[in-house]
Amino acid sequence: MTVSVPDTNPASADQDPAAIKLPRAILFDLDDTILAAGDRLEVLRLVAREFERELAPFPPDEMAQRLDDALAEFWSDPERHKTARFGIPEARRQLFADVFAATGAKQMSRDLAERIAARFTACRDQLTDFFPGARETIETLKARGVLMALVTNGGSATQRAKIERFSLAPLFDHIQIEGEHDFGKPDERAYRHAMSVLGVEAHETWMVGDNLDWEVAAPQRLGIYAIWHDAFGQGLPADSPVRPDRIIRAISELIEP
């Protein structure tokens, strides 16, 4: 589902794309917004099938589903998310070991869990790349004079490695990593600091990201126009109290009529 931009940003079908009204500044999330690491469950299935013999008698797809459910539950807890995101590989190893232990099967050892967790982490890193059109869109926005900040949570080493790997630094006027500050999203200081560096106010700013709490609800409370990147077409949860100002399926929609 895509919600049209309200009258503050109209663009008719025959309008010159270069004439689309853009904000002075855009704050971008990184993971699952600009960069994609593949569908988590599909990657888990691929990895589980590599270990099919060792996982027997449990079918690999069944174990992949168990692990995906456990990851979803784990990351849904705000407090766990706040602490574990600085050591994601370590958190995965422990979580996988807990899932395996819960089966009660002796062959589901901690060693096996840790090897599968390491393989999953390696596969996700290998698969990580730009969403289609994301880099080109950011380059276009930069050429049109939009000020841009990359505002990402996580540890400094992990996020800096991605920024270097994908040559992101030249695209942004400001890069802000949670691990290099005393705050991160959804702390309002994260958004205020980025806007202060760019020299803009909330009403001149868009926030773009995939997390409904961090990139929609929190910035909206400050008066920022919040755009939710629903890259996988999941749609808003039926019980979600959060209502984005706009929903997009691709970053390229930011500059499309």
> For residue 215, what is the domain's CATH number?
3.40.50.1000
Rounded to whole angstroms, the Cα distance separating 49 from 67 reads 13
32 domain residue, yes or no: yes
My answer on whether 110 and 169 are in the same domain is no
159 domain residue, yes or no: yes
pLDDT of residue 8: 37
| Among 92, 127, 162, residue at a domain's last position | 127
- 120 lies in which domain range? 40-127
pLDDT of residue 32: 93
My answer on whether 113 and 143 are in the same domain is no
Cβ atoms within 10 Å, residue 11: 16
CB 162 within 8 A of CB 38: no
Rounded to whole angstroms, the Cα distance separating 34 from 91 reads 24
My answer on whether 142 and 247 are in the same domain is yes
Instruction: End-to-end CA distance of the chain: give it in Å, rounded.
Output: 16
The alpha carbons of the chain give a radius of gyration, in whole angstroms, of 20
221 domain residue, yes or no: yes
My answer on whether 107 and 32 are in the same domain is no
| Among 99, 127, 155, residue at a domain's last position | 127
pLDDT of residue 16: 53
Pure H helices in the chain: 40-50, 52-55, 60-76, 78-84, 88-102, 110-127, 134-143, 156-165, 188-198, 218-221
Query: What is the count of structural domains for the chain?
Result: 2
In sequence order, what are the residues at sequence separation of 6 or more whose Cβ sits closer than 8 angstroms to the Cβ of residue 59? none
pLDDT of residue 88: 80
User: What element of type H or E holds 23?
Assistant: none
pLDDT of residue 1: 37
Q: Of 27, 5, 6, 9, give the one whose Cα is nearest residue 200.
A: 27
My answer on whether 85 and 178 are in the same domain is no
pLDDT of residue 82: 61
My answer on whether 157 and 96 are in the same domain is no
pLDDT of residue 3: 36
CB 6 within 8 A of CB 17: no
187 domain residue, yes or no: yes
65 domain residue, yes or no: yes
pLDDT of residue 84: 61
Maximum CA pair distance of the chain?
65
pLDDT of residue 83: 64
47: exposed, middle or buried (Cβ count in 10 Å: 0-12, 13-18, 19+): buried
My answer on whether 66 and 85 are in the same domain is yes
Q: Of 246, 251, 22, give the one whose Cα is nearest residue 130.
A: 251
| Among 112, 127, 142, residue at a domain's last position | 127
135 domain residue, yes or no: yes
147 domain residue, yes or no: yes
Which residue numbers in the chain have pLDDT < 70? 1-20, 78, 80-86
Rounded to whole angstroms, the Cα distance separating 192 from 195 reads 5
Classify 71 in phi/psi space as left (phi over 0), alpha (psi -120 to 50) or beta. alpha
248 domain residue, yes or no: yes
My answer on whether 230 and 152 are in the same domain is yes
My answer on whether 102 and 144 are in the same domain is no
pLDDT of residue 76: 76
Query: What are 149's strand-pairing partners?
Result: 27, 174
My answer on whether 154 and 115 are in the same domain is no
My answer on whether 120 and 173 are in the same domain is no
Whole-model pTM? 0.83
My answer on whether 140 and 120 are in the same domain is no
